[in-house]
Amino acid sequence: MKRLLLSSILALLAGFVSGQSYSYTWKRVAMDTTWESKQPNIADSILQKYHPGIEPLMEIVAYSELEMDKHNPESSLSNLAADIILDAARAYTQPEDLVFSMTNFGGLRASLPQGAVRIYDIYSIFPFNNYIVVISLSGKDVRSQLERFARSNSFEALGGVEIEVRDGKMVKCNVGGAPLDDEKTYKLATIDFLMGGSGKVFVGSKALPGSLVETKIVLRDAVENYMRKETAAGRTLTDRKDGRIVIYE
């Protein structure tokens, strides 16, 4: 059909150039199955091949009232990720002992859409096989790291904290609902990527000996389980910004 149309246009243009005159008649032609090729469509065959693998990713697991993106010092998406880590890790330690959580902004690779949230969206946001772990840190090390964030006016995604920063200094720091105490021991739920190497965020900090708990939970799976539970309870995903990190200009 495309070739026929192209040939007609070229013939018409050739006529104009040569000065010949033509007469034409026109009629409407319905673009229906009459014009469909009997040959298999290559694109359809490719899609058919991969459809069994793609279909499960299209399952809707939750509904969001808003589009969630990431930005400093806190955002709905980063808060959601940190809170899910904290919630999932509590099954592997005494809930009252686990007081805060952290993941990195760099690990959040896409926005969460408004409306239907599919498995595909979860994989887009959390494409890495990061596992949730729990470690114990001294209050002194926790303060040192949070002060480093404050000096740069840039925090990673945190849960279970209330922090205020002015002129690069923390003027308020609550962890687990109480002021940070340098002499206490705090349990942090985070991801294995941040435990060492290039991904290490707690620079200069050391987990207390024997404190590492490997939950074997992939962060992406924890997010999916959380969303399924919220949907089963009749709840939608809402704005998670709560002022947990405030930086005064």
Q: Is residue 142 classed exposed, middle or buried when 0-12, 13-18 and 19+ CB atoms within 10 A define those classes?
A: buried
- Pair type for strands 185-191 and 131-138: antiparallel
Low-confidence winner among 46-50, 73-77, 146-150, 232-236 (lowest mean pLDDT): 46-50
Q: Is the pLDDT at 166 greater than 70, yes or no?
A: yes
Look at residue 231 in the predicted model and tell me its pLDDT: 97
What span, in angstroms and rounded, lies between the C-alpha atoms of 140 and 71? Answer: 27
Q: Region 152-156: what's the mean pLDDT?
A: 94
Look at residue 201 in the predicted model and tell me its pLDDT: 63
Q: Region 93-120: what's the mean pLDDT?
A: 90
User: Please, are residues 191 and 129 in contact by the beta-carbon 8 Å criterion?
Assistant: no
Q: Give pTM, 2 decimals.
A: 0.78
Look at residue 88 in the predicted model and tell me its pLDDT: 94
What are the extents of the domains in the chain? 56-239
User: Please, are residues 31 and 200 in contact by the beta-carbon 8 Å criterion?
Assistant: no
Three-state DSSP state, 127? coil
Q: Is 36 left (phi over 0), alpha (psi -120 to 50) or beta?
A: beta
CA pseudo-torsion sign 72, 121, 104, 96: positive
What span, in angstroms and rounded, lies between the C-alpha atoms of 216 and 133? Answer: 8
User: For the chain, what is the mean pLDDT?
Assistant: 86
Q: Which residue has the higher pLDDT, 6 or 73?
A: 73
Q: Region 86-111: what's the mean pLDDT?
A: 88
pLDDT in tens, 190-201: 999 988 655 566
User: Please, are residues 87 and 79 in contact by the beta-carbon 8 Å criterion?
Assistant: no
Look at residue 3 in the predicted model and tell me its pLDDT: 52
Tokens of 212: 């590492």
Look at residue 127 in the predicted model and tell me its pLDDT: 95
Q: What proportion of the chain, given as a percentage, has pLDDT over 70? A: 81
pLDDT in tens, 26-79: 888 887 777 776 676 676 677 677 767 778 889 999 999 999 999 999 999 999
Long-range contacts, stretch 68-72, CB < 8 angstroms, 24+ apart: 68/111, 68/112, 68/237, 68/240, 69/111, 69/112, 70/105, 70/108, 70/111, 70/157, 72/105, 72/153, 72/154, 72/155
Kindly indicate the confidence band of residue 150, based on its pLDDT and cuts at 50, 70 and 90: very high
Look at residue 47 in the predicted model and tell me its pLDDT: 66
Q: Is residue 147 classed exposed, middle or buried when 0-12, 13-18 and 19+ CB atoms within 10 A define those classes?
A: middle
Q: Which residue has the higher pLDDT, 37 or 93?
A: 93
Q: Which residue has the higher pLDDT, 44 or 169?
A: 169
Q: What are phi and psi of 123, to 5 degrees?
A: -65, -35
CATH of domain 56-239: 3.90.780.10
Kindly indicate the confidence band of residue 120, based on its pLDDT and cuts at 50, 70 and 90: very high
